[in-house]
A = this chain, B = another copy of it.
Amino acid sequence: MAAARVRSGGRPTLEEVAARAGVGRGTASRVINGSPRVSAQTREAVEAAVAELGYVPNRAARALAGNRTDAIALVVPESETRFFAEPYFSDIVRGVGAALADTEMQLLLTLAGNDRERRRLAQYLTAHRVDGVLLVSVHADDPLPDLLEQLGMPSVISGRRHAAETLPSVDSDNFEGARAAVDHFISRGRRTIATITGRLDVYGAQRRLDGYRKAVASAGLDPDERLIAPADFSEEGGARAMRELLARRPDVDAVFAASDVMAAGARHVLRESGRRIPDDVALIGFDDSAVARHMDPPLTSVRQPIEEMGRVMASVLLQEIAHRSEGRTEERPRIVLPTELVVRESS
């Protein structure tokens, strides 16, 4: 074995596999890449040679000759700290990883929290070091998506930047999630239902508000604008919004917060004001994060299928890449995954 290794000068090459199988290089390549234009007999011979030699294709050579990299990037415009802190990302990574598990595709995790990293990243992508890009947690004014589109780089975005998103996207059903939350309040007899919104320049936050409005209107409730308090997804913002709400409509009996973290802020203020949850005011959040489960009382929340979003994003991207190289184009799938209301004690 050692001798053979020395003789062949290291790892076996395609050429060696071909020689061993008694075929030409081209044929061996065809077998390894699963081309159908090979006879069964030849295929077997090559496969045997591959097994005996323990052949593994040289990635660099493949990339160079085939003008691809077999790698995709998951671009996260956050610092390491946030990346590790938010369970959202770990779920996405898990989903993406699952979708890629039996693929040759390699996942590159690229965090770009500061400007320096973002510049490096842009260079990376323009240099075509990956075959495609998964974009998560994109801010509305991020130039990256447009850059990618311009470059013709296959990309998939989680969520959307706006209603007319041009990139293929995978989103959860924010509208229906919000509506379900409000309907749940209504079915339990709540009548003065307020909402605390996220930053409305984030499309998802807008949709949650739309869902709230729709549900309120459908139920024939009073669509009082004073029941809508804008915030910014932060705990402090949630608290502030809740205070406004209480000042404007002290008779509020239910609050739908567009994130669990904001719900936590709201809870704090409600407690301070002497109101009991859910007896006096019912509360629902969004995300179904760890925060929701550990809140006191446990928070009813709208769950997004984040891991599945990761899985779907990856498979959409793989398709995009395949289509692109086949010349096909212009499909731009937009996938919306269902959300689910997880009922706990707060409502």
Using a CB–CB distance below 8 Å, which chain A residues touch chain B? 11, 56, 58-61, 63-64, 69, 80-81, 83-84, 87, 89-90, 93-94, 97, 106, 108-109, 111, 123, 126-129
Contacts and interface: CB of A to CB of B under 8 A. Distances in A.
Contact of A128 (B11, B61, B109): B11
Which label, helix, strand, loop or mixed, suits the secondary structure of the A interface?
Answer: helix
Nearest to A69: B60
Contacts of A106: 108
A60 B64 contact: yes
Contacts of A127: 11, 56, 58-59
Contacts of A11: 127-128
Contacts of A61: 60, 64
A90 B80 contact: yes
Contacts of A89: 84
The 8 closest A-B CB pairs, nearest first, are: A60-B63, A84-B90, A56-B127, A60-B64, A80-B94, A60-B60, A61-B64, A64-B64
Contacts of A58: 64, 127
28 contacts: A11-B128, A56-B123, A56-B126, A58-B127, A59-B63, A59-B127, A59-B129, A60-B60, A60-B61, A60-B63, A60-B64, A60-B69, A63-B63, A64-B64, A80-B90, A80-B93, A80-B94, A80-B97, A81-B94, A83-B90, A84-B87, A84-B89, A84-B90, A84-B93, A97-B111, A106-B108, A108-B108, A109-B109
A186 B60 CA distance: 60
A63 B65 CA distance: 12
A64 B60 CA distance: 5
Nearest to A68: B60
Nearest to A56: B127
Nearest to A98: B80
Nearest to A89: B84
A173 to B, nearest CB: 25
Nearest to A129: B59
Contacts of A83: 90
A290 to B, nearest CB: 10
Contacts of A81: 90, 94
Contacts of A63: 59-60, 63
